[in-house]
């Protein structure tokens, strides 16, 4: 019962925060105005700038910021114990993450949909703009390299998920065209699509798991995914991005609902017990594991706060909102929902795993078919492996930290969640298929949204430095995908290609969180220049500047935790890490020197909008978009 009560208390906290703190930010700090001009109408081009219903934008924004972040981060961090992970998720998302996302969204809305990097040039200094854009470029390159690997790893570990993920894409395009012609048909078309997706999950789980027939499936899937991203990121948002994200958001609502019901049944029946399954505060650690301070704050990013979210807020969502007042639900509310997902992940990776460990069994079911099921793992006494023993099988202190795999941690969530679903009589094999498709769909959403965002950044950088060929959206997209792919294909020390994402993984958390600190700084300058209160944003800004810088410094220099400097051969990691840390310190210094002199002084105004007859957004007027 305690497991369910922890979930309920967290959800109630999020609802109360939205109704109180979120409303105070909306009305007293940002003064949201339903009659304010919005970029989607000012610069409408029906490609990137598309006025859209709140439900559509919410679906896009939530699925883009969520991705696998609120799954992977908490699934790793519980090795320190479930209590610190839970506290950081709940209080971090309410007071830091949601404020960060909401602020970036509102500031972008009031600057014609420009990204935070572009806005920094006017709020702080032109040099700050260039520094910010370079930091964004590094961060998104890492995202592209890593998330392609994450999805490829999911496809490899759970081939039953492949069919459902790929079927969802043409279905989303169909829904996009149907709802474009008849907006009232959106809900009905989305429901039918969900039914088809779940039917394909069943087929994939029991009859058609798909494996790529190549020697290195990780490389094969990564290439396929990047080609898909290149195409998806230049499509009009209403064709694929909006309908796919809308469908995925409903997929998550259904999955969350089932998980909470399953969690309640398992908790009240005594099958799930958080306190018996995993330590609240771990006392034993794997050899070579990082310390909880400061690494908890960069390991759990999405789910508490993530710098990537400011790119979604200012890169895509601000270009679709049709009413400024929608931004509280989209910016603040989406982050709280992501926090709720992270809470469920923590419980699944602890109490859910404690319900029993299962492994895949494959047997011939006929002349040409193979039946795959998930069967319980037993101990030496032939008893099912449950409780603390099952949890330790995923988070063993006997294995060195460097031997933990990303797939194991994602698997902890998938398999723990399947245990919750089994409590409400959903077969475990089907439950694992449902959760694996959910994770892969969300990761794909993040991957192609990140490609679109990187295209914007490349265009903005090219405009800033005068590199005209890269201001074209197609050449910018090609550059983004090519660079991400080349990084992803970097071989490891054993010569295995396709391991670049893993090599860059240590950088992802710190770089991502440093970006959050810089975005907070932009929001703080926006409010400071308008004489608005900034006290509520000071502590979050300091936390998100200090914690990631501390973590990255340890990664670079401390012998006991140095993952790249101490290895000697990770020149790429050391170079990107040092460059990112240097850029952050430089931009912070620029801000500190300017801060005292800009109180109440408005930044330079944007140039006049083009006339209605010639409303084709230029790079200058649309913040670098074309």
Domain at 516, CATH number: 1.20.1740.10
pLDDT at 620: 35
Beta bridge partners of 374: 360
Q: Which helix (H) or strand (E) holds 125?
A: none
Q: Which two tokens stand for residue 50?
A: 């598309």
The pLDDT assigned to 338 comes to: 95
Average pLDDT (62-70) is 82
The pLDDT, as a whole number, for residue 617 is: 40
What pLDDT was estimated at residue 306? Answer: 92
Query: What's the average model confidence in pLDDT over 172-186?
Result: 89
Domain range for 579 is: 2-35+56-607
pLDDT tens, residue by residue, 433-482: 898 888 888 888 888 888 988 998 899 889 888 888 889 889 999 999 99
334 pLDDT exceeds 50? yes
Helix (H, G, I), strand (E, B) or coil at 219: helix
Lowest mean pLDDT among 107-121, 253-267, 560-574: 560-574
| Position 515 in a domain | yes
Q: Is residue 331 part of a domain?
A: yes
Burial of residue 531 (CB within 10 Å: 0-12, 13-18, 19+) is: exposed
Tally of domains within the chain = 1
Quickly list DSSP for 340-367. Answer: HHHHHHHHIIIIIHHT--EEEEEEE-SS
Residue 393 — very low, low, confident or very high, per pLDDT cuts 50/70/90? confident
Compute the mean pLDDT over every residue in the chain, rounded to the nearest whole number. 85
Is 626 contained in some domain?
Answer: no
Q: What is the pLDDT of residue 106?
A: 97
Instruction: Record the tokens describing residue 410, joined without a space.
Output: 């994602």
Contact in structure between 507 and 531 (CB atoms under 8 Å) = no
Q: What is the largest CA-CA distance in the chain?
A: 79
Confidence of residue 575 (pLDDT cuts 50, 70, 90): confident
Residue 163 in domain: yes
List all residues 6 or more positions away from 258 whose beta carbon is below 8 Å from its beta carbon. Answer: 420, 421, 424, 426
What is the pLDDT at residue 618?
A: 37
Six token digits for residue 572: 């790429």
Residue 130 vs residues 133, 464, 548: alpha-carbon distances, Å: 5, 7, 21
- Identify the pLDDT of residue 376: 78
Position 43 in a domain: no
Give the position of tokens 């896009």.
Answer: 60
Please report whether residue 619 resides in a domain: no
Say if residues 372 and 339 touch (Cβ distance below 8 Å). no
Q: Which of 460-474, 550-564, 607-621 has the lowest mean pLDDT?
A: 607-621
In a domain, 198, yes or no: yes
So what's the pLDDT on residue 322? 95
Output phi, psi for 362, to 5 deg: -120, 130
Which residues lie across from 360 on neighbouring strands?
374
Question: How much of the chain exceeds pLDDT 70, in percent?
Answer: 90
Alpha helices in 466-565 (DSSP H): 473-488, 500-529, 535-557
Domain assignment of residue 321, yes or no: yes
The pLDDT of residue 372 is 63
This prediction has a pTM of: 0.88
Look at 555 and 166; give whichever has higher pLDDT.
Answer: 166
Quote the CA–CA distance of 335 and 65 in Å, as a whole number: 8
User: What's the whole-number mean pLDDT along residues 17-35?
Assistant: 97
Check residue 537 and give its pLDDT. Answer: 94
Residue 626, pLDDT above cutoff 50: no
């Amino acid at each position: 019962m305690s497991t369910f009560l922890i979930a309920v208390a967290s959800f109630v906290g999020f609802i109360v925060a939205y109704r109180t703190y979120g409303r105070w930010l909306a009305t007293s700090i940002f003064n949201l105005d339903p009659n304010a001009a919005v970029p989607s109408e000012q610069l409408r081009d029906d490609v990137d700038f598309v006025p859209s219903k709140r439900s559509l934008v919410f679906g896009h924004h939530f699925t883009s910021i969520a991705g696998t972040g609120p799954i992977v981060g908490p699934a790793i961090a519980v090795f320190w114990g479930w209590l610190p992970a839970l506290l950081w998720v709940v209080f971090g998302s309410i007071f830091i993450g949601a404020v960060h996302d909401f602020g970036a969204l509102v500031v972008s809305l009031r600057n014609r949909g420009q990204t935070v990097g572009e806005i920094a040039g006017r709020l702080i200094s032109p040099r700050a703009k260039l520094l910010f854009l370079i930091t964004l470029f590094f961060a998104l390159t890492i995202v592209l390299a890593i998330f392609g690997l994450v999805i490829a790893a999911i496809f490899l570990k759970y081939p039953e998920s492949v069919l459902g993920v790929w079927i969802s894409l043409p279905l989303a395009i169909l829904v996009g065209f149907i709802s474009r012609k008849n907006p009232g048909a959106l809900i009905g078309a989305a429901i039918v699509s969900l039914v088809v997706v779940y039917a394909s999950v069943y087929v994939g789980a029991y009859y058609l798991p798909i494996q790529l027939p190549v020697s290195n499936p990780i490389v094969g899937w990564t290439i396929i995914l990047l080609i898909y991203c290149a195409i998806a990121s230049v499509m009009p948002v209403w064709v694929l991005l909006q309908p796919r994200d809308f469908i995925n958001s409903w997929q998550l609502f259904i999955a969350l609902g089932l998980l909470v019901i399953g969690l309640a049944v398992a908790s009240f029946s005594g099958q799930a017990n958080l306190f018996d399954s995993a330590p609240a505060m771990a006392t034993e650690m794997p050899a070579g594991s990082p310390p909880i301070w400061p690494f908890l704050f960069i390991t759990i990013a999405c789910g508490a706060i993530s710098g990537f979210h400011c790119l979604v807020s200012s890169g895509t969502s601000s270009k679709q909102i049709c009413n400024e007042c929608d931004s509280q639900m989209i910016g603040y509310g989406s982050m709280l929902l992501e926090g709720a997902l992270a809470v469920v992940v923590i419980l699944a990776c602890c109490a859910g795993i404690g319900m029993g460990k299962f492994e895949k069994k494959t047997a011939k079911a006929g002349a040409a078919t193979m039946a795959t099921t998930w069967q319980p793992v037993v101990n030496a006494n032939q008893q099912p492996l449950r409780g603390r023993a099952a949890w330790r099988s995923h988070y063993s202190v006997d294995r060195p930290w460097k031997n933990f795999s990303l797939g194991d941690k994602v698997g902890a969530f998938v398999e723990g969640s399947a245990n919750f679903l089994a409590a409400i009589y959903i077969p475990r094999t089907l439950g694992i298929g449902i959760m694996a498709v959910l994770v892969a769909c969300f990761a794909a959403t993040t991957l192609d949204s990140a490609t679109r965002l990187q295209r914007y950044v490349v265009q903005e950088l090219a405009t800033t430095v005068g590199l005209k060929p890269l201001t074209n959206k197609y050449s910018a997209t090609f550059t983004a995908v090519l660079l991400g792919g080349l990084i992803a294909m970097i071989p490891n020390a054993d010569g295995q290609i396709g391991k670049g994402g893993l090599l860059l993984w240590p950088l992802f958390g710190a770089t991502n969180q440093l970006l959050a600190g810089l975005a907070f700084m932009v929001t703080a300058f926006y409010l400071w220049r308008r004489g608005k209160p900034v006290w509520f944003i000071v502590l979050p800004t300091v936390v998100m500047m200090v914690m990631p810088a501390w973590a990255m410094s340890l990664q670079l220099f401390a012998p006991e935790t140095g993952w790249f400097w101490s290895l000697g051969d990770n020149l790429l990691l050391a170079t990107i890490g040092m460059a990112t840390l240097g850029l952050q310190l430089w931009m912070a210094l620029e801000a500190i020197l300017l801060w005292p002199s800009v109180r109440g002084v408005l930044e330079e105004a944007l140039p006049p909008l083009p006339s209605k007859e010639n409303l084709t957004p230029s790079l200058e007027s649309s913040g670098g978009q074309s």
